[in-house]
Amino acid sequence: MAEVETQTRPGGETAAKAAPYVRPDVRAFLDFLNSAGAAPMSSQTPEMARLGVLQLGSVAERAPLVLPVIRDLAAPGPAGDIALRLYDMRAAREPGPAIVFFHGGGFVIGNLDTHHAFCTEIASALDLPVIAVDYRLAPEHPFPAAPDDCEAAARWIATSPNAIGRTITGLIPMGDSAGGNLAIVVTQALGDDPATVPVVMQVPLYPLTDDKADHVSTQVFAEGYLLNADSMGWFGKCYAAPLKDPRAYPLYHDHAGTPPTVLVTAGLDPIRDNGRVYGAELVLAGVDVTFLELSGTIHGFAQLRKVIPSAQDDILSIFAAMKRQLEHI
């Protein structure tokens, strides 16, 4: 049975409102987190925030899988080399598609190590090469440094079989949160100016897609659900992207020609409705969309699989949806 909250309307009238469903393991994690009294992200330096995310991952994320291939690479970028990391279940393979992974973190935090365990899971479950991209971070490198690096890395991956040791026939941009935003932005950029190999699918997980502050989810889940209003405001200030710019907010790009999409949102996420409105635009444009809204869980669940065990089932559902789409490629 759902919990019930009460709200007092003007004049003293009381109305009942069902509280959002929260899974038991998510509730336990949030209770611990909210009682810890951590300093607001806006009061920290970027270096402190980045260290904090690494420390959280060391206790909250499952151990990485052991793979035959985990190898660091570098791609030329607009401001120097871009660090990459290749994951593969096979030492050698026939030509085929590859996943290009962009980590989340509000364009300010995160790196190859924060998402290392998740990338090993993707490579193992999908039996595809995964190349993770370590793009430049704000505020040291504000918009458009991140999309510039991610697009440059994707184009290099599409044209560098000797360096990668694999012949790639199609790209699958994938990422979480800010990385989900970048996956969409890269897909759109490569659609506008096609790469050597096509984008055959995109997989944005709980992505930021627009600059609107009035989504219902932004109001309802502003506090107490890990990602909060303070952090979102700080991320936005650091990233310093112009409003309505489609390379920052891909909802404002034309969606015709978007490749098949697996789109994921979290039910308790303040940017949940960013994913919902983006998915609606794809449907209206006639795109083949698999939309998964995972109820009772929070933003960032893919890196919290030790403290939120149910998140492992969530990522398996995502991988199953990706496999179904891959059958038609």
Both tokens of 253, joined, read 């790009």
Degrees (nearest 5) of the Cα angle 213, 302, 190? Answer: 70
Residues 6 or more apart whose CB falls under 8 angstroms from that of 55 comprise: none
Q: State how far the Cα of 15 lies from the Cα of 72, in Å rounded to an integer.
A: 57
Considering 176, 269, 273, 314, which one is annotated as catalytic? 269
Active-site residue (options: 103, 115, 116, 299): 299
Tokens coding 179: 């990385």
Active site residue 299: yes
Give residue for tokens 């190898």.
71
List C-alpha distances in Å: 70 to 57, 91, 119, 194, 325: 19, 10, 10, 28, 26
Catalytic residue at 269? yes
Backbone φ and ψ for 142, nearest 5 degrees, come out as: -70, 175
Closest CA to 71 of 2, 132, 153: 132
217 is catalytic: no
Q: How many CB atoms lie within 10 A of CB 323?
A: 13
- Which SS3 state, helix, strand or coil, does residue 224 take? coil
Q: 53-76 burial, b if ≥16 CB within 10 A, otherwise e?
A: beebbeebbbebbebebbeebebe
Residue from 239, 137, 250 nearest 190 by CA: 250
The half-sphere exposure of 243 on its side-chain side, counting CA atoms within 13 A, is 3
- Catalytic residue, from 177, 210, 231, 253: name it: 177
How big is the CA angle at 162 (ends 161 and 168), to the nearest 5 degrees?
10
Q: Which sequence positions are flagged as catalytic? A: 177, 269, 299
